[in-house]
Structure 1
């Protein structure tokens, strides 16, 4: 067999972008809308979701999302 001509594009270091998961998106949205939480101790998962639920409830006209 002869050499294989693989015309694949070169992979640049750091060129791969990982997609954000739903937990990361929720955490980022909480910190964007409530930046003062960054000054406190690290939030627990429950605190992040509680804040996200309050933010969403305010943006959806007051309906509670559970």
Structure 2
């Protein structure tokens, strides 16, 4: 169970799962280039990506938007 792993291993597992969503990777890449102060991607697309991977769906399935807050 991932939740019982040390934090660094949990973060590595999360990064591995999120990196399967090519749209999310593009959003992160583009947002990083905007020079916005303190920006972040909100949880909806992150949660849905994890859920999709855990349930053997395509990583982008059901995600209608990717919100960047700053």
TM over 0.5: same fold? no
| Greater per-residue helix proportion | 2
| Greater per-residue strand proportion | 2
Larger-gyration structure (1/2): 1
